[in-house]
Structure 1
Amino acid sequence: MAERIKSLLEYDIPDTATELLSSIVRPPITAQSFELKPQFIQFISNDLFAGTPHECPVSHIDGFLEKCDAIKLDSVTDDAIRLRLFPFSLRDRAKEWLRDEGIGSFDTWDKLAKAFLVRFLGQEKTARLRNELATFRQFDDESLYEAWRRFKRLQRQCPHHGILEWMLIQTFYNGLTHEFRIYIDAASGGSLMTKNPTEAKELIEKMAANDNYHPGGRHSVKKAGKLDVDALTLLTSSVQALTSKFDRLQARTSTSSPETCQMCNVQGHIAPNFPKNSSEMSIKEATAFYTSNPKMPYDPHSNTYNEGWRNHPDFSYMNTQAQLNSPSPPPSFQARESFNHQPMNQQLPPQTSKYNLDSIMETFTTS
């Protein structure tokens, strides 16, 4: 029978046999009746793999095989079940990868699993997992059980790490804290290094299981917290707080204004440092001394009534015997009279003001 020739329009329409476009070649089924029930598909779809960096492709393959082993059908091979169900365990990037691998790329489960691991494990992720295994370190808040479980999880995520068994045991032992190494050495009867790899691994397994038997780990380090502070730590923090308060108080005292002298009320010195000789006091200090003591009865700078003025020789109008004998009034009296005859808007000559100030200071220093 001659083959029908397609029209040009038919060449633009894709073939409806979509099974020919799949990258998976499904093995034929020889059984008389075969059906993948919806509950089987739902069972596989409960744990989907998206292909993100934090997902482990090895764990996904392992979980998928466990589920497929629970499905057994007469006259149906394992590859036929796995190749038909595996696409239902993928989504997003992983689903797109399977479709883009090419038509008929995988006709066996081994080929599909190997290509899947190569794509989503890769050299970069393998190198990172190998480095984590070679530089394994126990965390400060991690128990022996938790550290051992994490170490085995790294091996499971990278089963092709290529590290020998004795190197793995030695790496784990060296990565433990000092306290846990002493604990393991004591349990081994001296040193773990004296045992062979099998004996050492069995001992660590037993000790890790025993450490997990006690809630929280018997030898785990407690995490720091407000409720997990011992007496010594509490005392130390209290002493540090008191020291800090004392330092702040001392800093405020040192930066405050200088002390005021109790004798002259002048800042900058205290009473024991007050100059005992009147000749040592400057005019500025004397002025400040009398300005800060307004209640002294003989204060020449007072703005109110001063009892000392009536006995002052330059401000007295009394006709003393010395004034009667003198041919002319004292210079201060002349200056006072000339001052009374000047206009109000004129100031006292500089010589008169200087003379009065010198007289006042001479009287002050004498007293």
Structure 2
Amino acid sequence: MQTDASAQPRAPSLWSRVTAVTDYFAWPLRTSHYVELVNPLWASHSLQARVEKVWDETKDARTLTLRPGVNWRGHRAGQHARLGVPIGGMHYTRTYTISSAPERDDRCITITVKAIAGGRMSHHLVRQIKVGDYLPLGLPQGDFYLPDAQPVKPLFITAGSGITPAMSMLRALIAQQRLPDTAHIHYAPHEFDVIFGNELRAMAAQHPRYKLSLQLTQAISAGSAAERHFSAAQLDALCPDWREREVYACGPQSLLDALEQHWQGAGLSRRLHIERFRATQAPIPPDAVGGLVRFGKSGVQASADHLTPLLRVAEDAGMNPPHGCRMGICHTCNTRLLGGCVRDLRTGKLLNDVGAIVQTCVCAAAGDCELDL
């Protein structure tokens, strides 16, 4: 049988009528489960993607070209999707920005992943994934995207892998032939650390309305290292008309905090649009302590400090609890507090009411505690 994705059913209404009948014979499974054995991309009960290509952007960043299954719907430039990977017999999920433009004509998308220190999944995606692998995929989400109306003079400020949503937007604007007067300030340690470096420089050369300023924060050059990081003086020099632009920023927490402070001080917070890869954390009291975490359903217990999210504590103890965004947005990791006390790392608030909902991806132990996991 031909298993190319192009042979997938093209008439959903007819297909649904056929499977409504065949599902009676497939019980207790569904027809989709058997179709999945032929080609996982045809399954309608789940969404998977096949790895079509891998490309190393830098020494520690890789772009994966994925072909989603039949349930995929188009994304907006700048949105993200959840990606699943089985590692060591456990299933992990992380959220990654879609770095390709929606205008691709091959039905594929790309995600670009940078391996981070201590990151199980990022290292696996960058080092272990190969062409032909199938990965569980979520639908596109997020509200960090350009408006439908023509944006007026956008300014992108990005750093490291934070360039991925901006790249999707730039590719989309160019594909739609509506690239406006655009400024882009991007930070990276060295020239060879710039993700999409060659493409960015080609864009700047081919499109006069796109002005790229690469700031190499650890390069050996004139001026101090501090001068190569974001500052009000640097912004004025690189983009004198920044007050007139809509700003789209993504990068490490320190950069985003500095941008928020600067735009708030200028009374222009409404013009600053930020995408974060991690939840913002509140200051934690210096006398905060962790404790012994008991997982009631599984019978597992583990020692935890006061900063490590309970989701990571559970995973390090060999558990595989439900999770999704790992930022406190999707609530997939929600569970109940059976006893003790935990702290919401985003707000610093303590939760000690039995039965309280705990988001394990953004809460840490605040003494001994027990969770309904």
Q: TM-score when scaled to structure 1?
A: 0.19
Q: Which has the higher helix share?
A: 1
Q: Which has the higher strand share?
A: 2
Structure with larger Rg? 1
In the superposition, the TM-score normalised over structure 2's length comes to: 0.19
